[in-house]
Amino acid sequence: MKKILLALSILSLCIGSASAADFTDFLAAIRGKSDVTYYRNNDAVVGSDGSAIQIKGRNIYTNYGEVYRINGDTIYASNNIIYQLRGSSLWGSNGTVYTREGNTIIGSNGIVCYTETSLEKREVMTFCKSNRSSSRPPSQHNSRPHYR
């Protein structure tokens, strides 16, 4: 069941129309903070660093000053960066690319984020780490990291 949910999430990204919830996994990588865990439950995301994200329709509001508006496969950020979904990658107008490989998002900004879904709690956890470090989140010890 866990793999089915992950496959559906990836499929929704690949067909070219992102939901706000799908984008929150990429948002963790875009933020670029290492050693932060994000917990998504329904329309809210809370970061271990005190960050908060609220999903309202096709908009995402943050407590750190960014607002994202989603229109089809294009995401408009309040900092004037435009993101475009292309297959399993998110391309930023600032030149940064984020690629989803299974449950991992790898950013050209040097961040790697691992995503897990808890079916019992209906919660998604995303843990981000700089790819310059060999550390992995505690629950990932038996899986192989995807480093570039």
**For the residues of 77-100, what is the DSSP string, one character each?**
ETTS-EEEEETTEEEETTS-EEEE
Q: Is residue 146 part of a domain?
A: no
Q: Is residue 16 part of a domain?
A: yes
pLDDT in tens, 28-76: 888 888 888 988 887 888 999 999 999 898 899 999 999 999 999 999 9
pTM of the predicted structure, to 2 decimals:
0.70
Q: Is residue 147 part of a domain?
A: no
Domain residue limits at 132 = 2-138
Q: Is residue 145 part of a domain?
A: no
Q: Is residue 144 part of a domain?
A: no
Exposure string (b/e) for 74-91, b if CB count within 10 Å is 16 or more? ebbbeeebebebeeebbb
Q: Is residue 148 part of a domain?
A: no
pLDDT in tens, 36-48: 898 888 788 899 9
Please enumerate in sequence order all residues whose Cβ is within 8 A of that of 32, keeping only pairs 6 or more positions apart, or say none: 107, 109, 110, 111, 128
The total domain count for the chain is 1
